[in-house]
Amino acid sequence: MEDAVDVEENKSPTRREFLSMVGAFGGAAVMYQAMGMMGLAQASPYSGPIKLGQAPAGAKVLVLGAGIAGMVAAMELRDAGYEVEVIEYRGVAGGRCWTLRSGDTYEELGGAVQKVDFAEGNYFNPGPWRVPYNHYGIIDYCRRLDVELEALIQINNMAYVHSTKAFDGKPVRYREINTDFRGHISDLLSKVTNQGALDEILSEEDKTSLLAGLRTFGALNADNEYVSGNNASGRRGYERAPGGGVDGAPIANEVMDLSTLLSSGLWSRLATSETLNSSMPIFQPKGGMDMIARAMAANLGDLVKYEKKVTKISQSEDGVEVIYQDMANGDAEVTTTADYCVCTIPFSILSQIDHDFARPLTNVISSMSYNSSIKVGLEFNRRFWEEDEHIFGGTTYTDLPISQISYPSNDYLSKKPGVLLGCYSWGATAYQFSSMEPAERISRSLDFGSQIHPQMKQEFKSGVAVAWHRVPWTLGCYGAWQDKEAQYQDGVAMDRRIVCAGEHLSYLPAWMEGALLSSLDAISRLHETATNAAGK
């Protein structure tokens, strides 16, 4: 609950009030920038490669799970001199850092099997699909492991915002809503300024500067009004764009009146991609998100043992024992031991494994739920969004159950088929999609998407739909705390010889950066415990 703020006449704005005003007029990105300058918001605290120091002689660490957290832990512990063994359930590394390509087969919980039939070179990321510029840790590991990044377009003024309740269900270009919203706000603030409502807090010089800034910010005319004309159309688009020859003169289009704009609700989408972790620039690995996981796995080589299902975790005063089924060898039961263990298994899975963790950690594991999510990748015979609608990258937002459509930020102008993220939804909607067979999820996504892009059904080639509560190795998208404030320290605390790590044990949930930061913190404390014990 927000702190109560006493209002006094002629009182200077508090920091909270100031930031609220900044956010209202400048958007979330400007607000976060201001918070950063004031020391109230920070990006990832990653400050460079970890320096653990030398491992105790002969010390061994088991790492459970070869996702991002597990592989980061394994690489750094190995480099410090520990003997490392990584136990991984799947036949490949990466966990949720996962990419599906042509020829891949995926079987979800319940037995439904999907075979990916994309054109060669096309791919779909069911899990992470973006690397924000301020996720310094992941970017540094990409640099160190030679993972090539390219820009991912998050916001595209040519993409759409869409509501079934506005404009007869027709999509509107993002640039039109954005320009009109800024224009009308600037117009209103100009009027308030000229009427003297801000005289008590602004000098005459301040007012002159503010009005000049609003004319630029809001595309106002010389009378500080937001009206149809070249100023507005230079941002929101023209009825007839500037051209050459006899009919080269542009024709301005009509701005949307404020009442229509506000009642549409489309303005609510404008700040969606301006949060600290979603503002530009954003990157993606060339060729698919799992290029990061592949590079980490290649770095670790045969330290990772695949297709091993952990069934029991126990520890004593002398070490840790893990029992697993070797799925690549007829489910033979194997026991492995080590001095210490880093457990990165999602708590949704760990809660089903026999273990002897202390009661506080056990309580966290058993109480943590995992949020739902649905992602659908749709491949089309041609890139109609580029050819017909001039959309190159970016995201369309909608109130339809698919929530958004993301256009590929690679292979522009390609004549081969292209893949859209045709649905990305959460919560109750994701549960509804999860209850369907994969083919129906794809069909529904096409039905909804066709309300924005009528070409979809005609151009559809193939698709794949991943409902995260049916993904066998996570049973959900990311960890959701029952009471994070009360439980967090119990979850991250080292339990004798075992420490847990992953995105669920961070304040950047669902992000690879959160998993990485959690891992580095966990192995720092493990190393301290190990060196202290060795020194006794």
Condensed to tens digits (0 to 9), the pLDDT of residues 199-208 reads 989 999 999 9
d(CA 277, CA 508): 9
The residue ranges of every structural domain in the chain are 1-42, 60-91+306-367+482-534, 100-155+280-289+372-470, 175-269
Residue 195 corresponds to which tokens in the numbers above?
């009427």
2: three-class secondary structure by DSSP? coil
Task: Name the DSSP letter for residue 6.
Answer: -
| CA distances to 185, 353, 504, 507 from 511, in Å | 34, 25, 9, 9
Q: Which residue reads 């720092």 in tokens?
A: 524
Secondary structure (DSSP) of 196-263: TTTTTT--HHHHHHHHHHHHHHHT--TTS---SSHHHHHHH-EEE---SSTT-S-EE-PPPPHHHHHH
Residue 503 corresponds to which tokens in the numbers above?
């995105």
CA-angle at 274, arms to 273 and 277, nearest 5°: 85
Beta strands (DSSP E) in 20-119 are 60-64, 83-87, 100-101, 105-107, 113-115
Beta strands (DSSP E) in 147-222 are 149-152, 160-162, 172-173
pTM, to two decimals: 0.89
Q: Which residue reads 């990419």 in tokens?
A: 99
For the chain, the C-alpha Rg in angstroms (whole number) is: 27
Quick: pLDDT tens for 258-275.
Answer: 999 999 999 988 887 777
d(CA 117, CA 136): 35
| CA distances to 150, 358, 505 from 347, in Å | 33, 15, 10
What fold characterizes domain 100-155+280-289+372-470? Polyamine Oxidase; Chain A, domain 2 (3.90.660)
Give yes or no for a contact between 519 and 361, defined as CB atoms under 8 angstroms apart: no
Q: pLDDT under 50 in the chain at which residues?
A: 1-41
d(CA 165, CA 163): 5
Per CATH, the homologous superfamily of domain 60-91+306-367+482-534 is FAD/NAD(P)-binding domain (3.50.50.60)
Q: How many residues does the chain have?
A: 536
Helix residue ranges per DSSP H, 301-423: 347-350, 359-367, 384-387
Strand partners, 251: 240
| CA distances to 47, 163, 374, 435 from 467, in Å | 35, 24, 5, 9
Helices (H) and strands (E) in the chain, counts: 16, 27
Domain covering 175-269: architecture: Up-down Bundle (1.20)
322: three-class secondary structure by DSSP? strand
